Amino acid sequence: YTENGVTRTATLNTRVKAPSVALVSLSINGGSSVLASGASVTLGASATYADNTIRTVTASWSADTAAVSVSAAGQVTAAQVTSNTPATVTASYSEGGVTRTASLILTVTASTIARATSISIQGSNIVPEGGTTTLRVVAAYSDGSSKTVSASWASSNPSLV
């Protein structure tokens, strides 16, 4: 600006801000619908925006049951369960005043460790006087298998055996 021979200058620094694009949805990635007892998986979250761009975001994580725990980083760890147990893991993300959530429904599967269900003594139950016999103990398991196991022995009549 110049007036009466005097020039004055003013400067205004400006920055052009791109219009913000609205957060439309959130999705969970990296998981499946089944997680074995004691196993872990790390989940991630992706945000989709109004202009169809997708980017990985840091979500807040939660679970609806003690059958799984979930860390702030999205690592889901299944507890030991005795029967298949449903669980829902939820991610939540906020940006520009908009909050979106996504959920993953999964099943924590029971341990498949075979457990002994019965034992039996195999061998002859008749021993001639002065004779010997060989006995063995066989354990049967919940998965249908069986095997010979070692056992401690005791007699109901120690004077004879």
Q: Looking at the predicted structure, is the pLDDT value of residue 75 above 90?
A: yes
Q: Given this model, what pLDDT does residue 17 score?
A: 64
Range 69-80 average pLDDT: 96
Q: Which tokens hold the place of 74?
A: 């999205």
Q: How confident is the model at residue 108 (pLDDT cuts 50, 70, 90)?
A: very high
Range 82-107 average pLDDT: 95
Q: Given this model, what pLDDT does residue 45 score?
A: 97
Q: Looking at the predicted structure, is the pLDDT value of residue 14 above 80?
A: no
Distance CA 4, CA 17 (A): 38
Q: How confident is the model at residue 129 (pLDDT cuts 50, 70, 90)?
A: confident
- Residues near 157 by beta carbon (within 8 Å), at least 6 away in sequence: none
Q: Given this model, what pLDDT does residue 118 score?
A: 87
Q: Are 98 and 82 in contact (CB under 8 A)?
A: no
Q: Given this model, what pLDDT does residue 8 score?
A: 79
Range 13-26 average pLDDT: 80
Q: Given this model, what pLDDT does residue 19 score?
A: 60
Q: Are 87 and 110 in contact (CB under 8 A)?
A: no
Q: Are 25 and 95 in contact (CB under 8 A)?
A: no
Classify 105 as helix, strand or coil: strand
Range 134-155 average pLDDT: 85
